[in-house]
Amino acid sequence: MPKTCDVVVLLSGTGSNLQALIDSTRTGDSSVRIAAVISNRADAYGLQRARDAGIDTRALDHKAFEGREAFDAALIELIDAFNPKLVVLAGFMRILSAGFVRHYQGRLLNIHPSLLPKHKGLHTHERALEAGDTEHGCSVHFVTEELDGGPLVVQAVIPVELQDSPQSLAQRVHVQEHLIYPMAVRWFAEGRLALGEQGALLDGQLLAASGHLIRN
């Protein structure tokens, strides 16, 4: 039996990245076990996907707390009850406090729908088009205190077509997200991926600043 890596997934929305992760764990040889899915929104469709897959779920409403630190402290307590080796942000639309990020240093991954460091924050597909970018994509990175700024693990690059709209770009980027996020999580679970002093390490080698690059 391979050793399993317990993962807690945090999300706020539809959870298509969670679904990709769930699907990737069904191969039989997966070392990833999703111990729980937690959302700040009780009505997030991602929670339903988790329930459908027989995964424990929790909802923690940020509006019930006075301030970010108080919410993050309660969230840490909830997450740590599952004792995960890795915490995966999959469309968790909250800015995390420095204390939260430090607590999970080296075991907190995020996916962002742009080729970081380009287009941090929201509305990334619109902004890529407005900027006239010829390439766009998505990034998986370790989370540090800098918003959307931690060491990159993997990026998938797609060409921007003349006729692209924000919606068509989002759709193609999503396809790539669903490939690279399960891959990065698997690397971590297998002990191949770690956060070193200088950046992300894959198989003990420092990754390039862009992370592992996949061109389409």
Report the binding-site residues.
15-17, 68, 93-96, 110
Q: Which is nearer to ligand GAR, 16 or 30 (CB)?
A: 16
Residue 15 in the binding site for ligand GAR (CB under 6 A): yes
Query: Would you call the peptide bond into 84 cis, given omega within 30 degrees of 0 as the criterion?
Result: no
Contacts to ligand GAR from residues 126-145, by CB under 6 A: 138
**Using N-to-C axis directions, what is the helix angle for 45-52 and 16-24, rounded to 10°?**
20
**Helices marked H in 45-165:** 45-52, 68-80, 98-103, 124-130
Residue 158 in the binding site for ligand GAR (CB under 6 A): no
Task: Give yes or no: 212 in active site.
Answer: no
Nearest to 51 by CA among 18, 7, 92, 79: 18
Residue 16 in the binding site for ligand GAR (CB under 6 A): yes
Among 13, 117, 149, 196, binds ligand GAR (CB under 6 A): 13
Residue 112 in the binding site for ligand GAR (CB under 6 A): yes
Specify whether the backbone of 10 is left (phi greater than 0), alpha (psi in -120 to 50) or beta: beta
**Site residues for ligand GAR per CB under 6 A:** 11, 13-17, 46, 90-91, 111-113, 138, 177
Active site residues: 112
